[in-house]
């Protein structure tokens, strides 16, 4: 996994936590930290989380890495 994908994954997790807080407690953490939903900084964060979600969308279609089996080390 590349560093961009790791950063995107962290941002996606932050977005998921924020949506969970909104859903369960009607509390928008991003808006409360950065000055409301209409502030420029909040909108930038929302945009970055959205882009991160699109980057992580590619992980759904990435083929699984096959493990190459070595017959000498896989003895029973």
What's this model's pTM, rounded to 2 decimal places?
A: 0.76
Looking at residue 12, its pLDDT comes to: 95
CA distance 53 to 31: 19
pLDDT tens series, the chain, 76 aa: 789 999 999 999 999 999 999 999 999 999 999 999 999 999 999 999 999 999 999 888 888 776 666 667 666 6
The reported pLDDT for the residue numbered 36 is 93
List b or e across 35-68, with b for residues whose CB sees 16 or more CB atoms inside 10 angstroms: eeeeeeebeebbeebeebeebeeeeeeeeeeeee
């Amino acid at each position: 996994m590349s560093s961009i994908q790791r950063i995107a994954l962290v941002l996606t997790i932050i977005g998921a936590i924020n949506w969970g807080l909104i859903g369960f407690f009607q509390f928008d953490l991003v808006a409360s930290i950065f000055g409301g939903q209409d502030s420029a900084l909040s909108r930038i964060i929302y945009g970055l989380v959205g882009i991160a979600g699109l980057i992580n969308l590619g992980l759904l279609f990435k083929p699984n890495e096959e493990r190459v089996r070595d017959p000498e080390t896989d003895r029973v």
